[in-house]
């Protein structure tokens, strides 16, 4: 048998992800555990926290997947912060498995001229939080009663009303509003927290809305886990990307300010954000801009992870990617058929490869392996989419 056949056969054994269905939380965990055992040279699994809240009857670990050499710089992704956006964790798991295979066969790739295009991936470490809102994700897989999709459409985390820091008046009103639980984790971060369009400012203070920001930033175990993680790794993080659905858009900061606001990101930093996004967008063909560039002003809202990575931690390459379907396909929306997992996962992986290539251009001194010639060590150390009628008028993806 040739080396190629041997490698192909052994890659098949690592290819364990079922991309024909959306995995539930238990299946995600068991996939990650199995993959980490099969690719132990390449991938390590850690926990960056859990979802424990006193008085809540559910708890999950928050996984962090690390692929690559721990000495290398990091491209970091958070996925599944909004529970119902199933294509986000599904695509991230697809990319995780691909990267694990590339790194497991690193030496083979470095010897093969045919596989030269994968080399840029090997210059970096890849970190993923595959499911940042595991309680919500668990709930979104619980069966709904006939004709309902309340569980499936879970967006927020699972903080119970009794543990919320709210006034009696507001708590009283929760009963009239059909109940309150959960905080929108992607409105709970301390950059532009509670800022945005006036409708958002009102809605995000009310615990029965989909965009409840909580009584203070970083109040939630999930957002605290992210905060702790970034603090620990900040010096090595080159980019931070939040993977959401849907809309086919790539957003960069600041998502709570108008395009022409004096505090909006501009100049060379904005040029870099545009240039980097345009490069990896060759794989995606999405729209690129700030929220204000791409959507109606009612969508302006703060407290999201992209703004937090970019302005709090000064990670200059930071985006929110809204995966398929297109924003006009709101009948499909969060319920993208499972047959789309593979195509979307594939293009996200292609985008990831382009990110690595662009990083090689931006940070040539970090490059260990090049796409040209032999491996060598040089390192010492738009148009706005039409508004559509929906029951919710603010940004809900």
Q: Among residues 244, 358, 368, 395, which is the contact residue for Zn ion, using CB under 5 A? A: 244
In the complex, the smallest distance separating the C-beta of residue 82 from Zn ion, rounded to whole angstroms, is 4
In the complex, the smallest distance separating the C-beta of residue 155 from Zn ion, rounded to whole angstroms, is 7
Using the minimum distance from each CB to Zn ion, give the nearer residue, 92 or 100.
92
What does the block give as tokens for 381? 């150390």
In the complex, the smallest distance separating the C-beta of residue 85 from Zn ion, rounded to whole angstroms, is 5
In the complex, the smallest distance separating the C-beta of residue 28 from Zn ion, rounded to whole angstroms, is 18
Interface mask (CB under 5 A) for Zn ion, residues 253-292, using x and -? ----------------------------------------
Total interface residues for Zn ion by CB under 5 A: 4
**Residue 397, interface with Zn ion (CB under 5 A)?**
yes
**Which one of 45-53, 63-71, 237-245, 347-355 is the stretch in contact with Zn ion (CB under 5 A)?**
237-245
Q: Which residues pair with 319 in a beta bridge?
A: 241
What's the alpha-carbon Rg for the chain, to the nearest Å? 21
Q: Among residues 66, 73, 82, 227, which is the contact residue for Zn ion, using CB under 5 A? A: 82
Interface mask (CB under 5 A) for Zn ion, residues 185-224, using x and -? ----------------------------------------
CA 11 to chain centre: 26
In the complex, the smallest distance separating the C-beta of residue 186 from Zn ion, rounded to whole angstroms, is 6
Q: How many CA atoms lie within 13 A of 113 on its CB side?
A: 1
Write out the residues near Zn ion by the rule CB under 5 A: 82, 85, 244, 397
């Amino acid at each position: 048998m040739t080396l190629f056949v041997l490698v192909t056969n052994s890659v098949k054994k690592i290819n364990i992800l079922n991309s024909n269905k959306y995995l539930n939380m238990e299946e995600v965990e068991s996939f990650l555990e199995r993959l980490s055992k099969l690719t132990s040279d390449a991938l390590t699994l850690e926990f960056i926290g859990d979802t424990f809240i006193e008085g809540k009857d559910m708890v999950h670990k928050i996984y962090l997947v690390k692929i690559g050499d721990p000495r290398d710089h990091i491209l970091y992704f958070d996925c599944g912060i909004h529970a119902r956006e199933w294509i986000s964790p599904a695509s991230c798991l697809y990319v995780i498995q691909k990267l694990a295979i590339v790194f497991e066969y690193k030496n083979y790739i470095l010897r093969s001229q045919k596989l030269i295009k994968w080399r840029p991936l090997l210059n970096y470490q890849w970190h993923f939080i595959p499911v940042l809102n595991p309680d919500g994700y668990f709930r979104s897989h619980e069966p709904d009663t006939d004709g309902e999709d309340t569980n499936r459409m879970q967006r927020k985390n699972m903080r119970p009303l009794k543990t919320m820091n709210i006034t009696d008046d507001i708590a009283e009103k929760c009963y009239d509003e059909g109940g309150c639980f959960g905080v929108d984790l992607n409105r709970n971060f301390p950059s532009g927290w509670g800022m945005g369009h006036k409708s958002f400012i009102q809605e995000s203070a009310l615990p029965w809305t989909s965009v409840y920001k909580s009584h203070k930033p970083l109040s939630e175990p999930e957002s605290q886990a992210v905060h702790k993680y970034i603090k620990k790794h900040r010096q090595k993080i080159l980019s931070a990307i939040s993977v959401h659905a849907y809309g086919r858009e790539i957003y960069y900061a600041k998502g709570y300010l108008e395009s022409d606001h004096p505090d909006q990101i501009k100049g060379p930093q904005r040029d870099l954000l545009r240039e980097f996004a345009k490069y990896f967008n060759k794989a995606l063909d999405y729209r690129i801009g700030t929220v204000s560039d791409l959507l109606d002003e009612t969508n302006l809202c703060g407290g999201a992870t992209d703004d937090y990575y970019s302005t709090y931690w000064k990670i200059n390459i930071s985006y929110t990617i809204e995966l398929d379907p297109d924003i006009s396909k709101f009948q499909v929306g969060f319920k993208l058929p499972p047959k789309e997992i593979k195509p979307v996962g594939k293009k996200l992986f292609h985008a990831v490869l382009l990110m690595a290539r662009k990083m090689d251009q931006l940070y040539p001194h970090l490059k260990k392996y090049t796409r040209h010639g032999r491996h060598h060590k040089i390192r010492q150390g738009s148009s706005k989419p039409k508004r559509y009628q929906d029951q919710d008028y603010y940004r809900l993806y």
